[in-house]
Every structure is written in structure tokens, then in C-alpha cells.
Amino acid sequence: MIGRVVHLDNLADRPAAALVVDGRLEDLAVDPADDRPLPGAIFRAVADRPMKGLGGLFVKLPQGGSGFLRQTAGIAPGQRLLVQVTGPAEPGKALPVTTRLLFKSRYAIVTPGAPGLNVSRRIREDDLRDGLETLAKAAMAGAPDDLGLILRSACAGAEEEAIADDIAAMRDLALAVLADLDGGPELLVEGVGAQETAWRDWADPEPDEVVESGFAEHGVLDMIEALLQARVDLPGGGHMMIEPTRALVAVDVNTGPDTTPGAGLKANIAAARDLARQLRLRGLGGQIVIDFAPMPKKDRAILDQVIRAAFKGEAEGNLAGWTTLGLFEMTRKRDRLPLTEVMGADGAGGAP
């Protein structure tokens, strides 16, 4: 189907959501099989021992759980902290957490410790921006000065009352949580599940349709099944192999039957344009090493531009560049569980 469609269904007996744009799977969210905390969950935690070699410290979470915090300045062992889960934990490792809390809804993000009222840059109409700024100031009147607010791009098509309600809900939640530092480790705010994530984060642009219980009927299951395979076919007959190991994610780009002089660059551009989407959908992150198809060194500048454009706006990462052996290195934040783990499939060498 042409258009932007959100599909809500169950996958492996768990709530799931898929975003399909013009017939191509663009994003996927699936709730974990167990009761592990979801990204966005907020805890009252207790600082534990620092780990100087790792550049952070552990924090105690409820029920004997553990989190790892990288912002350590001014934090002493035994100190109570408010922390937020930033992503899934690798097996046997502590949950990654941060003290930079975000209270996020469909239209608004309240930012403790980051003052200011800001409107998404994607909203460009001056009159609309002015109206939203006025609405934001009124909704945040009386809030502490260090409580900031970001109005998201979905505000462009929303009713003022809905935006004001969202701001008020996030502001009140933030104030309640920030005042709740007394006591031992405790879960204060649940993380957001897959289908609520779809409602909250896939609202801009507004979906053309929301389909419930239609993964099989609309081909979404076939799209997900393709993500469990290492091979990704590329336009022009080339392909790339995406294979996670314990240490890194290896990507190998091949031209296929095309033997023309420009075949390498064409295959590499096609791979670079799709790689960010493939990594996101497969839930892969950490260190990523790409063995692009052979091409002249002078063409690397062209490919660099394509890679930077493709990964703009993706999860936090670092495009480290080319090695002396001609490999391209990068990192990507692990912001979700590997799809092979979600689906109970065995990845090549184990998910990183």
C-alpha cells in the first residue's frame, strides 16, 4: 500500500507495532518476553561502587538489579539518584542508565535540568511557532526555572487543548518524580511498550491508516522474516551480508553479476542508503565494520557523503571512517533488543 501505515499486532505472543511506508518496513517495536525494564523507565537508585576503568559507576536498582551510569561527577557511593533506562541490557550486564531524565509524550518532552522552551525545527511556519511558544509559556507557568520543554513536530497538526493537556501531564509527572528521592531503590515510571511507542513516536507525519491484527494479512510477517536472514538484496543485482558476532557486526557488500567499471560504487551507495534502516530494524549496534565492494579510492568521498546522510537522525553513533585495510568502521548505540533474540532465532555467532 502506498502511504504511511502503522500496524498493531502480536509477534511471538507479545505486543508489537510496525511502521510501513509505501510498502517498505521502516520501523519495528516488540515488547520483550520477560519483565525486564523497558527503555524510558525511571528508577530511584542508589549509587554503588565506581568503575574507573570503565568510566562510570554501578547503581543499585530494585530486586537486586543493577544499572551502569557513565555520568559520575559529584556522585558519592550511597547517594540516591533518579536514573532513566536508555536501552536494553546485554545478557549478564547491567542496564544502561542516565541521570538526564526525559518525560516524553506525543506532543511534548519535559527536560529537567535543561531549561528553555523550544519548538521542533521541523515546524517552520512563523505564525504556528509563535502560537506554540505562547501555549508552552502558559502551560509551564509556575514550573521551576530548570524545567525545560520541547514541543515535538507532531504539534503541527494537533488541537491546542490536546497539546496543553500533554504538557500538563508531563510537567506534573516530572515534578512528582523529581520530588521522590526518599527511600530505597524503586521503579517510579514504567517504560513505554511497543504499541504506545507507535502512538507516541510515529505520529509525524500522521499515519494514513492504523491497522490492527494485520501482520500476516498485509505481509508484515514476511518483511520481518526477511530481517532474520543475513542476505539483503540491493537494486542492480548486488547484495550485502549483515552478520552479527559477539565482538562486532560485520557487513560485506558484493556487486553480484554486474562487472561494469562503476559496479562497486553503485552497490556501495545502495548498501549505504539501506544500512541504517537494516541495523535499526534488526536491533543491531555496537561496533560495526563494513567491507564495501572494491572501488577506486577517489570514490570514497562520494560514499562518505551518502553514509553521513543515511545515518543522520539515527541512534547515537560515530562514523569513524576508513581503516588502512580499506574497511569502514562505525559505532551505533544499542537502543533495542536484537531481533534474533526477540524472535527466539539464533543469530550468526550470537547477538552482540
Q: pLDDT tens digit string along 118-130?
A: 999 999 999 999 9
Q: At 42, which helix (H) or strand (E)?
A: strand 42-51
Name residues whose C-beta falls within 8 Å of residue 349's C-beta, 6 or more positions apart in sequence: 243, 244, 245, 246
> What length is written for the chain?
352
Residue 219 lies in a domain: no
Of the three residues 147, 181, 215, the one that is the final residue of a domain is 181
pLDDT for 350 beyond 60: no
Whole-number CA gyration radius for the chain: 22
Same-domain status, 256 and 326: yes
Q: Do residues 242 and 336 both lie within one domain?
A: yes
Do 88 and 115 fall within a single domain? Answer: no
**287 shares a domain with 235:** yes
pLDDT at position 352: 32
Within a domain: 55: yes
SS3 18: strand
Per-residue cell: 1: 500500500
- Are residues 240 and 281 located together in one domain of the fold? yes
Could you tell me if 245 and 332 lie in one domain? Answer: yes
**Does residue 35 lie within any of the structural domains?**
no
Domain shared by 253 and 177, yes or no: no
- How many helices and strands, by DSSP H and E, does the chain display? 7, 20
* Per-residue pLDDT at 40 exceeds 80: yes
Are 153 and 133 contained in the same domain?
Answer: yes
Q: How many domains does the chain have?
A: 3
3-state secondary structure of 268: helix
Cβ contacts of residue 143 below 8 Å, gap of 6+? 171, 175
* 247 and 332 both lie in a single domain: yes
Q: Report helix, strand or coil for 133.
A: helix
Check residue 343 and give its pLDDT: 84
Residue 294 lies inside a defined structural domain of this protein: yes
Look at residue 10 and tell me whether its pLDDT is greater than 70. Answer: yes
26 in a structural domain:
no
Nearest to 12 by CA among 203, 161, 225: 225
201 part of a folded domain? no
Per-residue pLDDT of 146-204, as tens digits, reads: 999 999 999 998 999 999 999 999 999 999 999 999 999 999 999 999 999 999 999 88
Q: Are residues 115 and 82 in the same domain?
A: no
The answer as to whether 311 is a domain residue is yes
88 and 131 share one domain: no
* Confidence (pLDDT) at 348: 38
Q: What's the domain range around 80?
A: 42-100
Residue 175: inside a domain: yes
pLDDT digits (tens, 9 = 90+) for 207-234: 999 999 889 999 999 999 999 999 999 9
How many Å apart are CA 316 and CA 307, to the nearest integer? 14
- Provide the 10 A C-beta neighbour count for residue 113: 11
* Separation CA 201–CA 173 (nearest Å): 19
One domain for residues 278 and 297: yes
- Is the pLDDT score of 346 beyond 60? no
Q: Kindly report the CATH number assigned to the domain that includes residue 81.
A: 2.40.50.140
Burial of 335 per CB tally in 10 Å (0-12, 13-18, 19+) = middle
Residue ending a domain, choose from 84, 100, 116: 100
**pLDDT digit string (tens) for 247-299?**
999 999 999 898 898 999 999 999 999 999 999 999 999 999 999 999 999 99
Q: Please give the biggest Cα pair distance in the chain.
A: 68
Per cent of the chain over pLDDT 70 is: 97
Q: Which of 122, 151, 181 is at the close of a domain? A: 181
Domain with residue 275: its CATH number is: 3.40.630
Q: Which three cell numbers stand for residue 48?
A: 554503588
Q: How far apart are CA 58 and CA 67, in angstroms?
A: 6
pLDDT at residue 27 is higher than 80: yes
